[in-house]
């Protein structure tokens, strides 16, 4: 199982499940909170992601219960899901370090790079 085909939404769904089993609505709320409200998914999108993650073995349904006459399914991370999340987090962390490493190797070119600390070039 490789993290390279893990979408940002899937990454945040897995992250939401690190705190323990969650039902769909709780996952939606956690994803919005964890992403600082950048990601807002529809219920249909969420359940598509949950189905794909379950098919990969990254999550599994823990239990179902009826709440206010509605079925509530709880999902939890599997060991494979924890490994997948850790791999993806390490990959993202490595990518985030790359601009700083590039600046250290060639500090004179830092102003030419869009990610430099001096900001984007104003030349057009």
How confident is residue 123, by pLDDT bands cut at 50, 70 and 90?
very low
**Structural domain contains residue 75:** yes
* Burial grade of 27 (CB within 10 A; 0-12, 13-18, 19 or more): buried
Rounded-to-integer distance, Cα 70 and Cα 67, Å:
5
How confident is residue 107, by pLDDT bands cut at 50, 70 and 90?
low
- Residue 35's CATH number: 1.10.10.10
The number of distinct structural domains making up the chain is 1
pLDDT value at position 98?
79
pLDDT value at position 75?
98
Q: Above 70 in pLDDT, residue 22?
A: yes
Q: Above 60 in pLDDT, residue 3?
A: no
Domain with 16 in it:
7-100
**Structural domain contains residue 36:** yes
Quote the pTM value.
0.76
Q: HSE of 16 in the Cβ direction (CA atoms, 13 Å)? A: 28
**Structural domain contains residue 120:** no
Q: Above 90 in pLDDT, residue 23?
A: yes
CB 9 within 8 A of CB 39: yes
């Amino acid at each position: 199982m490789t993290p390279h085909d893990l979408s940002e939404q899937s990454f945040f769904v897995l992250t939401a499940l690190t705190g323990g089993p969650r039902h769909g609505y709780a996952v939606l709320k956690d994803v919005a909170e964890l992403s600082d409200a950048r990601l807002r998914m529809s219920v249909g999108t969420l359940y598509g992601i949950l189905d794909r993650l379950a098919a990969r073995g990254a999550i599994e349904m823990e239990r179902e219960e009826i709440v206010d006459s509605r079925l509530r399914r709880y999902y939890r991370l599997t060991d494979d899901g924890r490994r997948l999340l850790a791999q993806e987090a390490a990959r993202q962390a490595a990518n985030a370090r790359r601009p700083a490493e590039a600046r250290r190797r060639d500090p004179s070119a830092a102003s030419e790079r869009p990610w430099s600390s001096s900001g984007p070039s104003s030349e057009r």
